[in-house]
């Protein structure tokens, strides 16, 4: 028991280095005063999709915000003795990534508190619902929008926004469990789908009272070199950490590549820390390289997309089941009206890997088709929630998975039937 406790604490100590690195990087780009001013801008922005914190607050402030949010998330998990499983790592990196465009301390507190209230009234331990709490902060922009976007007196705005945020957090855990059945575990961003449904209802109510919330397109550009250096350094370090402690080998990695990724695929539990770190590092390198190869700009949302891929590389994603999705989304962008190197197209590719289990379970070409369909749906679904659901691709992915999985199953049954007839 003592050895297990020591390992538990030691793993968290290693994880704490990550947000500290993000905070240190912040001071490379901006002075402390500039970071503080940038954080004020971030806290008081509406934050709905797509609001790049690098553009409105500065690169340093965006890194500082991400570091702060990640640090708080890790501390919350550590204090409540949450085991560092694949889902836990996915939650941490998702918060970290989306804190570059949409999440901040102000707009996430009420949602987390709402989940806490749910656990108390339900009689369960908070550590059993911390992960839904962290993922559920996808609806943070709704809190910011009510506070700063409705022309309300600031006190009323804060009160109304926090009441709505607490309500969202309260209903989210129960709904996320129910909606898992909708897509049968083939959409990795399950809470994203849940948040999309909640956001759709919330924005529908808001529009009933003649208030309008729309998506925006505020993104930065021209920072590829410094951001690419930071990302590649981080991901190569993660890869080397896993590779060295795995006996300087890829032993066990082939088994991970055989996993379909369908929920729940906890790579840490199934294959161990070192093999998972190898996968996380490789996936970060692949995600960054994709953006650069198609000629895209690395900005806050793109960094968020790449970090989310890295997190979910402990919980379902690997090269074999994500590359077909990249190909599918890219093909849709090239063949249609979308610009493959535009930020929205790149986000569709990066976050479209939520459908990785389809490629993992059904194969390479169904995976490409899923990516193609995802691009079509995600480009038209943001209006339903007005951009207040940061996990727009998880919302889209739920519908794509729920549509394609029964069709692919039916096609598989028909093929098997003809094979039986031939024999």
User: Is residue 161 domain-resident?
Assistant: yes
What pLDDT is attached to residue 1?
38
| Cis before 153 (ω within 30) | no
Number of structural domains in the chain: 1
131-159 per-position pLDDT tens digit? 999 999 999 999 999 999 998 999 999 99
DSSP string over 384-415: HHTT--S-HHHHHHHHHHHHHHHHHHHHHHHH
Q: Is the dihedral of CA 239, 242, 247, 253 positive or negative?
A: negative
User: Encoding tokens for residue 194?
Assistant: 């849940």
User: Encoding tokens for residue 139?
Assistant: 């609806």
User: Is residue 360 domain-resident?
Assistant: no
User: Is residue 53 domain-resident?
Assistant: yes
User: Is residue 194 domain-resident?
Assistant: yes
For residue 51, the SS3 value is strand
Domain that holds residue 224: 1-318
**β-sheet bridge partners, residue 327:** none
Longest dimension (CA), the chain: 75
What pLDDT is attached to residue 7?
41
Angle made by CA atoms 399, 94, 107, in degrees to the nearest 5: 95
Q: How confident is the model at residue 423 (pLDDT cuts 50, 70, 90)?
A: low
Note the pTM of the prediction, 2 decimals.
0.95
Q: What percent of the chain has pLDDT over 90?
A: 85
User: Is residue 291 domain-resident?
Assistant: yes
Q: What is the CA radius of gyration of the chain?
A: 21
User: Is residue 397 domain-resident?
Assistant: no
Binning the chain into helix, strand and coil, the percentages to the nearest 5 are: 75, 0, 25
Is pLDDT above 80 for 421?
no
**How many CA atoms does the CB half-sphere of 61 hold within 13 Å?**
21
Give, to the nearest 10 degrees, the angle between helix 154-183 and helix 190-208: 130
Q: How confident is the model at residue 415 (pLDDT cuts 50, 70, 90)?
A: confident
User: Is residue 346 domain-resident?
Assistant: no
User: Is residue 422 domain-resident?
Assistant: no
What pLDDT is attached to residue 383?
87
Q: Which helix (H) or strand (E) holds 233?
A: helix 224-245
CA–CA separation, 5 and 18 (whole Å): 21
Name every residue whose Cβ is closer than 8 Å to that of residue 202 and which is 6 or more positions away in sequence. Answer: 139, 142, 164, 168, 385, 388
Q: Is the dihedral of CA 55, 198, 173, 375 positive or negative?
A: negative
Name every residue whose Cβ is closer than 8 Å to that of residue 157 and which is 6 or more positions away in sequence. Answer: 146, 147, 148, 150
Is pLDDT above 80 for 3?
no
Task: Give mean pLDDT, residues 365-390.
Answer: 94
For residue 62, the SS3 value is helix
For residue 238, the SS3 value is helix
User: Within a 10 A sphere around the Cβ of 409, how many other Cβ atoms?
Assistant: 13
175-190 per-position pLDDT tens digit? 988 888 888 889 999 9
CA–CA separation, 110 and 131 (whole Å): 15
117-133 per-position pLDDT tens digit? 999 999 999 999 999 99
> Could you say which DSSP state residue 218 is in?
B
CA–CA separation, 102 and 235 (whole Å): 23
**Which alpha helices (DSSP H) does 261-342 contain, by range?**
267-271, 273-293, 300-312, 319-335
17-51 per-position pLDDT tens digit? 999 999 999 999 999 999 999 999 999 999 999 99
- Give me the phi and psi of 279, to 5 degrees please: -65, -40
Using left for φ > 0, alpha for ψ between -120 and 50, and beta otherwise, residue 84 falls in beta
């Amino acid at each position: 028991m003592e050895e297990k406790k020591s390992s538990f604490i030691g793993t968290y100590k290693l994880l704490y280095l990550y947000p500290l690195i993000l905070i240190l990087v912040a001071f490379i780009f901006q002075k402390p005063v500039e970071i503080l001013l940038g954080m004020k801008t971030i806290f008081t922005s509406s934050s709905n999709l797509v609001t790049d914190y690098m553009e409105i607050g500065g690169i340093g402030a965006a890194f500082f915000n991400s570091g702060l949010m990640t640090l708080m998330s890790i501390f919350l998990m550590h204090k409540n003795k949450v085991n560092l499983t694949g889902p836990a790592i996915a939650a941490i990196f998702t918060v970290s990534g989306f804190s570059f465009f949409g999440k901040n301390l102000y707009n996430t507190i009420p949602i987390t508190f709402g989940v806490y209230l749910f656990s108390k009234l339900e009689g369960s331990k908070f550590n059993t619902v911390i992960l839904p709490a962290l993922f559920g902060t996808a609806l943070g922009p709704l809190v910011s929008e009510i506070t700063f976007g409705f022309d309300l007196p600031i006190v009323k705005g804060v009160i109304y926004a926090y009441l709505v945020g607490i309500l969202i957090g309260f209903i989210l855990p129960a709904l996320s469990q129910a909606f898992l059945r909708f897509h049968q575990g083939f959409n990795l961003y399950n809470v994203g789908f849940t948040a999309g449904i909640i956001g759709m209802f919330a924005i529908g109510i808001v529009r009933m009272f003649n208030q309008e919330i729309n998506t925006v397109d505020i993104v930065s550009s021209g920072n590829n070199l410094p951001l690419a250096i930071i990302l590649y350094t981080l991901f190569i370090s993660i890869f080397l950490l896993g590779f060295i402690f795995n006996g300087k080998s890829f032993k066990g990695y082939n088994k991970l590549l055989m996993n379909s990724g369908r929920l729940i695929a906890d790579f840490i539990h199934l294959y161990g820390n070192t093999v998972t770190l190898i996968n996380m590092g490789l996936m970060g390198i692949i995600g960054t390289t994709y953006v650069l190869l198609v000629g895209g700009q690395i900005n806050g949302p793109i960094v968020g997309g790449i970090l989310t891929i890295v997190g979910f590389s402990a919980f379902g994603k690997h090269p074999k089941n994500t590359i077909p999705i990249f190909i599918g989304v890219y093909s849709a962008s090239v063949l249609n009206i979308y610009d493959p190197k535009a930020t929205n197209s790149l986000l569709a590719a990066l976050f479209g890997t939520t459908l990785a289990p389809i490629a993992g379970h059904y194969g390479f070409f169904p995976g490409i088709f899923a990516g193609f369909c995802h691009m079509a749906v995600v480009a038209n679904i943001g209006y339903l929630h007005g951009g207040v659901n940061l996990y727009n691709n998880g919302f889209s992915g739920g519908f794509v998975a729920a549509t394609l999985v029964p069709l692919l199953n039916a096609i598989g049954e028909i093929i098997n039937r003809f094979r039986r007839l031939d024999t």
